[in-house]
Amino acid sequence: MIRAWWAEFRHGAPLAAGLLTLLAGVALGATVGRQPMLPGCADPLNAGLVLGVTVSPLALGAAAVHVARLQNGRLLALAGTSPRGRGGTLRLAWAAIAAWQLLGYAGAQLFILGNTSLHGYCSPAMLVLPAAGMGFSILMSGIGVLLGAIRPHWATGAIAGAMALFVVLGIQRLEGPAGRLVPTFIFTYYQPFLDPNVALNLAHLAFYLAAGAMIWALLPMRRGAGLAVVAAAAAVLGSGVLAHVVDGDPVQHRRPELRRCLSADGVQLCVWPESEAALHPGLVAIQRSKAVVGDRLPTPSTFQQEGLTGPAGSSTLRFDAREITTAELQHAAHRAMVPQPACQAGLEAWFSLLDWIVAGSEPGYAAPEALAIRSLPDGQQRTWLAARYTAATTACR
Amino acid sequence: MPDGERHETLRLSHLAFDYRGAPALRDVTASFATRRIAVLGPNGAGKSTLMGVLSTSKRPCHGTFSHCGLAPLEGGLSAYRRQLGVVPQALVALPGYSCRELLDYVCWLRRVPGVHRRERVEAALTAVGLHDRAGTPLRHLSGGMLRRLAVAQALVNRPALLLMDEPTAGLDPQQRVSFRTLLAGLHETTIVFATHLVEDAAALADELAVLHEGRLLWSGRAEQFVHPDQITAAAVERRYLELVEQAP
């Protein structure tokens, strides 16, 4: 098996498509923007997934061309008289193309990872991203083999590959029920405390493997494979339904005990380890915001970065973990002076309070309404603030 | 040996095949007891279809067949295919493959155990005189060499049943003689070959089957086809033409 596979692997369409996939993957990997990626492994792995899926139509086209070549070389007919049958040759062709496809995927993925700062959160759960991507790639090469077996002509590969590219680029932007079967999240960036949704990605992987199993069962192109095809079709249906019913949101598995904390003047700030550089400037920003608020509003004494939990009455400091700037930390501190309501009802009051804080800190950026409140006598300001504070903090109870 | 006691190598029983309604084989029934069987017939007689059915690449719409008791359509498909060697009418070069790689591949297809593969590949290449071309890419082989390679791939699993469709087409007279010598050495193998060249049939076959328009016109021992003292190409051709002309 190994020798036959090796012969398939290193010649003709599998070799050409494999090298092309590898080159395309590495070239695209070199151009993937690192700037938007958040710390940790999830975003580079997600970028690899998008890349792997995007170049997979190459394998589909190459597989169809390769099968046409086997047919024209009479090898497929010869295989039809052997114990392994046509199915054996087609499956071996699939294995050769898929191996190249996986190599291309792995090459591009390693290139992205090698060019990304991986400090931050990495977890085994994130491996579902490349697993789903590789499952998709294997399925695509299987579809190519099946199409080539149905219509063995080089044009099948060219047309099917081009159509697949069109479809793949389209489905990556799908939303709604159909989008639930797509493994890529091209506009998703994983916050440093979030893991991909394992259930959804495993449902994707199961769907691709089940569809692959169905193609595997169909490849002998003979009657008699009925039971295997029916079983695989049931698995496709089951995993498809599963992909629709599982909760698809990213989940938090990261343990909050890993926090780094700093206290000064009765105020404590805790952040994730990779954001340790934000501790001191964050604390300074909080003190500045507290000074702007003064004693007109009750403010928390404990703050934590998003994803960490704190004691009752603490507030969350939301800042972009990619690039920690003073301005951004200041804005995050303003927003954290009053804990953000978890429901829509309290948000209007909360935004009014935020505008009032910004008007006191940076009048040049403030809304005219907030500046008008700021110009009121202290008593009137306090009454106005108390009403909105109550609305912002109690509306969601 | 009386018919009831004779050892049967190949049996065809009411075989029928059609291409989208156009019959290519019509109720072909025959039994053979020797290991050298020639299927004779003009172009379009159904020879290649019969070889396709025997090679199991075509499934008959009616009837069965067996070789030494192995009936592929009655549950013995895998075992039947394992003991089968097939020389196709044309084997086109696959870009990149060398002779050895192609034979390795066929070993895998025929489930030749891994421990025997190297030896079988070398033996098959030696048998057809291509041992010094083992590493040559197929695209560098001449037409005659490709025909010999087609035979080598069919021998690589040491088949009990060897099917050949027009095996000497494209061979020069010297290669044809070598080829016949090669086949003569395969004592344990049942060889069924389709040809329209009566001299091949006369030189190689112990039994003949004559097909015309999908029907079996005649089958039996060569010495029954023509007088035992006259088994020459010319005599066989004369008798064959008589049969075809008398065909309904």
pLDDT digits (tens, 9 = 90+) for B80-102: 999 999 998 777 666 678 899 99
Q: Which helix (H) or strand (E) holds B15?
A: strand B10-19
CB–CB contact A83 B153 (8 Å): no
Question: Which residue type is seen at A374?
Answer: R
CB–CB contact B90 A74 (8 Å): yes
CB atoms within 10 A of CB B212: 21
Whether residues A139 and A243 share a domain: the answer is yes
Asked if residue A14 lies in contact with residue A6, where contact means CB atoms within 8 angstroms, the answer is no
The residue among A235, A251, A267 that closes a domain is: A251
Whether residues A178 and A61 share a domain: the answer is yes
The residue among A311, A334, A357 that closes a domain is: A334
- Which residues have a Cβ under 8 Å from the Cβ of A375 and sit 6 or more positions away? none
Whether residues A298 and A376 share a domain: the answer is no
Residue A345's SS3 state is: helix
- Which residues have a Cβ under 8 Å from the Cβ of A266 and sit 6 or more positions away? A301
Question: In chain B, which residue's Cα lies nearest the Cα of A67?
Answer: B94
Question: What are the beta bridge partners of residue B32?
Answer: B10
Whether residues A163 and A45 share a domain: the answer is yes
Whether residues A293 and A390 share a domain: the answer is no
Where, residue-wise, is CATH 3.40.50.300 in chain B? Answer: 8-83+160-248
Distance from the B119 Cα atom to the nearest Cα atom in chain A, whole angstroms: 15
Q: What is the pLDDT of residues A151-165, one digit of tens each?
A: 888 888 889 889 988
Asked if residue A269 lies in contact with residue A286, where contact means CB atoms within 8 angstroms, the answer is yes
Considering only CA atoms, which of B161, B216, B9 is closest in space to residue A81?
B161
Asked if residue A73 lies in contact with residue B92, where contact means CB atoms within 8 angstroms, the answer is yes
Distance from the B203 Cα atom to the nearest Cα atom in chain A, whole angstroms: 27
Q: What is the pLDDT of residues A266-325, one digit of tens each?
A: 899 999 888 888 899 999 999 999 998 888 889 999 999 988 888 888 888 888 777 778
CB–CB contact B55 A4 (8 Å): no
Question: Which residue type is seen at B205?
Answer: A
| Total residue count of chain B as it appears in this document | 248
**For A19, left (φ over 0), alpha (ψ -120 to 50), or beta?**
alpha
- Which residues have a Cβ under 8 Å from the Cβ of A8 and sit 6 or more positions away? A14, A92, A93, A95, A96
Whether residues A304 and A362 share a domain: the answer is no
> Does the structure show a pLDDT above 80 at A13?
no
The residue among A284, A306, A334 that closes a domain is: A334
Residue B3's SS3 state is: helix
Q: In what order do the strands lie in the sheet with A260-264?
A: A260-264, A267-271, A302-305, A315-317
Q: What is the pTM of this model?
A: 0.80
pLDDT computed for residue B193 by the predictor: 92
**For A294, left (φ over 0), alpha (ψ -120 to 50), or beta?**
left
CB–CB contact B109 A88 (8 Å): yes
Whether residues A148 and A263 share a domain: the answer is no
Whether residues A291 and A387 share a domain: the answer is no
pLDDT computed for residue A394 by the predictor: 85
> Does the structure show a pLDDT above 70 at A49?
yes
Question: Which residue type is seen at B101?
Answer: E
Question: What are the beta bridge partners of residue A304?
Answer: A270, A316
Q: What is this model's ipTM?
A: 0.86
Averaged confidence pLDDT in chain B? 86
Distance from the A213 Cα atom to the nearest Cα atom in chain B, whole angstroms: 21
Tally of domains in chain A:
3
Considering only CA atoms, which of A358, A355, A286 is closest in space to residue A319?
A286
Per-residue pLDDT band for A223 (boundaries 50, 70, 90) equals low
- Which residues have a Cβ under 8 Å from the Cβ of B196 and sit 6 or more positions away? B40, B41, B42, B43, B47, B166
Considering only CA atoms, which of A105, A131, A264, A106 is closest in space to residue A207?
A131
Asked if residue B97 lies in contact with residue A11, where contact means CB atoms within 8 angstroms, the answer is yes
Whether residues A287 and A233 share a domain: the answer is no
Alpha helices for chain A (secondary structure H): 2-9, 12-31, 42-72, 75-79, 85-114, 128-150, 154-171, 198-218, 226-245, 279-293, 326-336, 347-361, 368-374, 378-394
- Which residues have a Cβ under 8 Å from the Cβ of A231 and sit 6 or more positions away? A217
Q: What are phi and psi of B90, to 5 degrees?
A: -145, 135
Higher pLDDT, B103 or B199: B103
Contacts of B101 in chain A (CB under 8 A): 3, 7
Contacts of B91 in chain A (CB under 8 A): 73-74, 78
Tokens of B202: 């006369």
CA distance A24 to A20: 6
B106 and chain A in contact, CB less than 8 A? yes
Question: In the CATH scheme, what is the code of domain B8-83+160-248?
Answer: 3.40.50.300
pLDDT computed for residue B2 by the predictor: 45
Distance from the B222 Cα atom to the nearest Cα atom in chain A, whole angstroms: 29
Q: What is the pLDDT of residues A232-255, one digit of tens each?
A: 777 777 777 777 777 767 778 888
- Parent domain of A364: 338-397
Contacts of B55 in chain A (CB under 8 A): 80-81
Whether residues A130 and A188 share a domain: the answer is yes
Contacts of A70 in chain B (CB under 8 A): 94
